[in-house]
Amino acid sequence: MSGVVLVSAVALMDAAGRLLLAQRPPGKKMAGLWEFPGGKVEPGETPETALIRECREELAITLAAVDLEAVTFASHTYDDFHLLMPVYLCRTWQGEPTPQEGQEIAWVHPDEMPSWPMPPADAPLVATLRRFLSTL
């Protein structure tokens, strides 16, 4: 195993209470599975600045760190690395999410998420997010 990989993800929530999922494009590991937007935290970045960069690159939207609310995290061992992923909720951003890397996106109500195929690290987050969102 090559060690711990730090990735950050965001649950973008629209006015209808739906969350944005992005489908991993063909050619990537776990292609076809649905996940929360985000990506690897690069050297010198915080998880928040990585999310701001990733959402700009992948979805053409602008997030502000002040709008990112840490809600949970994933810790999952894959065959060749261990993933550590803080997850943030964000209800405010600039622009309309538009896929920039050939991925599909979908706005999904949290109650429908268990039926969407997700990577092993993302799937357990659904129940946690549903519990958290039910308190809002």
What was the pLDDT predicted at 101? 86
In CATH terms, is domain 4-134 a member of 3.90.79.10?
yes
DSSP the chain: ---EEEEEEEEEB-TTS-EEEEEPPTTSTTTT-EE-SEEEPPTT--HHHHHHHHHHHHH--B--GGG-EEEEEEEEE-SS-EEEEEEEEE---BS----SSS--EEEE-GGGGGGS---TTTTTHHHHHHHHHHT-
Written as tens digits, the pLDDT of the chain (136 aa) is: 679 999 999 999 999 999 999 999 888 889 999 999 999 999 999 999 999 999 999 999 999 999 999 999 999 999 999 999 999 999 999 999 999 988 899 999 999 999 999 999 988 888 888 888 888 7
Q: What are the structural domain ranges in the chain?
A: 4-134
Stated pTM of the model? 0.92
